[in-house]
Amino acid sequence: MIGISNLKKKYNGVTVVNIPELIIKRGETIGLVGNNGAGKTTLFRMMLDLIRPDSGEVLSDEKNVAESEAWKDYTASYLDEGFLIDYLTPEEYFHFIGGLHNKSKAQVDSELPAFSEFFNGEILKKGKYIRDLSKGNQTKVGVAACMIQNPQILMLDEPFANIDPSTQIRLKNMVKDISREKHITTIISSHDLNHVTDVCERILLMEKGKIIKDIATTSNTLQELEQYFSVLS
């Protein structure tokens, strides 16, 4: 589904991403972990053609993301609040995103009740613009907007970071459900080792722009990662 080859990016002469090869199969749930500065967000942004690599390529369904628009129709992503349109209300934003994917307002409205627990009464019918929501509630809007697109690829950068513990659990269950029921390729970058190992079947560990571990998640993975990061600290 996604193929990366010879991908490199430098800033001010420092290599921030250097990945010779990476294959992500259709339907896999991938966790991307690493300390700040490891290159996770830069990698995400190159995968979404938000920044261009210095060399190498990212293929989505065998097409170079820098040369094709087709992947945008089946890829949904939320990296930060910059992905939102902050002068809209959440409802207006959901309708806008739905419209981009040929969904009517009525169709979008019929899907929103499925997020009622995730929203926890804080998102809909509040008369607030997205810019006036807390960071955590902005994350909820961004994640839900991804879900209503019915994507084949879902990419989330630090989705657990600003939401409360109850919502984190609800988000984990949502990701597990869509991965299982819809066979979506899901890639989650997170500092929360507990959540990411619970949700993801494969873990990529980045350090200084390189993927130094690529492991299938087992009952020992969380302990292995905690040990690795405790040594670094």
Contact 151, 75 (CB under 8 A): yes
Residue 161: per-residue pLDDT: 87
Q: In CATH, what class is 2-232?
A: alpha beta
d(Cα 89, Cα 182) in Å, to the nearest integer?
A: 29
Q: Helical H runs in 59-154?
A: 90-100, 105-111, 116-119, 135-147
Q: Which residue has the higher pLDDT, 228 or 137?
A: 137
Domain ranges of the chain: 2-232
More confident residue, 226 or 156: 156
Question: Exposure of 140 by Cβ count < 10 A (0-12 exposed, 13-18 middle, 19+ buried)?
Answer: buried
- What pLDDT, on a 0 to 100 scale, did the predictor assign at position 228? 84
Q: How many helices (H) and strands (E) would you count in the chain?
A: 8, 10
Mean pLDDT score across all residues of the chain: 92
Pairing of strands 210-216, 202-207: antiparallel
* Residue (of 172, 179, 203, 174) closest to 189 by Cα position: 203
**Mean pLDDT, rounded, for 27-38:** 92
Q: Are strands 14-24 and 29-33 parallel, antiparallel or unpaired?
A: unpaired
Is 89 a residue whose pLDDT tops 90?
yes
Inter-axis angle of helices 135-147 and 90-100, nearest 10: 30
pLDDT digits 0-9 by tens, 11-22? 988 999 999 999
Q: pLDDT tens digits for 164-222? A: 999 999 999 999 888 888 889 999 999 999 999 999 999 999 999 999 999 999 989 98
The CB-based long-range contact list for 7-11 (8 Å cut-off, 24+ gap) reads: 7/43, 7/46, 7/53, 7/55, 7/56, 7/57, 7/58, 8/53, 8/54, 8/55, 8/56, 9/39, 9/42, 9/46, 9/51, 9/53, 9/54, 9/209, 10/54
Given this model, what pLDDT does residue 232 score?
A: 64
Q: Per-residue confidence at 45, pLDDT binned at 50, 70, 90?
A: very high
Q: Which pTM was predicted?
A: 0.93
- Is pLDDT of 52 > 70? yes
Contact 172, 199 (CB under 8 A): yes
Q: Which tens digit of pLDDT belongs to each residue from 110-164? A: 999 999 999 998 999 898 999 999 999 999 999 999 999 999 999 999 999 889 9
CA atoms of 144 and 115, how far apart (whole Å): 7
